[in-house]
Chain A
Amino acid sequence: AQKVTQAQTEISVVEKEDVTLDCVYETRDTTYYLFWYKQPPSGELVFLIRRNSFDEQNEISGRYSWNFQKSTSSFNFTITASQVVDSAVYFCALSGGDSWGKLQFGAGTQVVVTP
């Protein structure tokens, strides 16, 4: 069975602070994919990143960065110099290699950025 754990329910920061969101996953698949999605207050789901299990390189995209560590089954997400527009719920999700289109989501982390 697959499982995604986002232990942080809510994180509150002041603008320009860095925020790190934790994601721990469980899977028996040797090939799998990890995702992060953002859900702003308007409710839509916005794709942020996809990483496959064979690619452990960390990635930086603007103010966003991701740290994938297979040894600890973690795929953490950092927002550098947070902005009010970063306020949203962030979901980590997992898909097995032979079950494309089926995502197992974590419960989500609410990020609140205040001016």
Chain B
Amino acid sequence: NAGVTQTPKFQVLKTGQSMTLQCAQDMNHEYMSWYRQDPGMGLRLIHYSVGAGITDQGEVPNGYNVSRSTTEDFPLRLLSAAPSQTSVYFCASSRTGGRLEFGEGSWLTVV
């Protein structure tokens, strides 16, 4: 049972480049979400989804897009990377009433 799988684990981007952080879960969880972690600020919600085809913005959505075409996958897209998006990104999933299961994190540096 793989749980929540995030790829890539490390990535360096140049300002203006685009990329997609992949997230997949094999637990048939309906809820999926993306958080970013910055020093001294805890984790902040970027986008979340309550099921396939349904997404909504979190606290810090600017500069990021998401889609949820299947229950299993919830990719996070950076359309034009900026240095302010240098962070650690965590994907999470849960079922109703269950705890959030987190991926191992993706370390992104934008230069």
Chain B residues with a Cβ closer than 8 Å to the other chain, count: 25
Closest chain-B Cβ to A114's Cβ sits at a distance in Å of 22
Taking the complex as formed, is A70 at the interface, i.e. its CB lies under 8 A from any CB of chain B?
Answer: no
Q: Interface residues of B: mostly helix, strand, loop or mixed?
A: strand
Whether A101 and B99, one on each chain, are in contact in the complex, defined by CB atoms closer than 8 angstroms, is: no
- Chain A interface mostly: loop
CB pair B50–A101 under 8 Å, yes or no, is yes
Interface size on A, residues (CB 8 A): 21
Could you tell me the distance between the alpha carbons of A9 and B48 in the complex, rounded to whole angstroms? 28
Contact of A108 among B35, B42, B88 (CB under 8 A): B42
Chain B positions near chain A (C-beta within 8 angstroms): 31-33, 35, 40-45, 48, 50, 58, 88, 90, 92, 94, 96-97, 99-102, 104-105
Given contacts A100-B97, A108-B42, 14 further A-B contacts (CB under 8 A): A35-B100, A44-B102, A44-B105, A45-B90, A91-B42, A91-B43, A93-B43, A100-B31, A100-B94, A101-B50, A101-B100, A105-B35, A105-B42, A107-B40
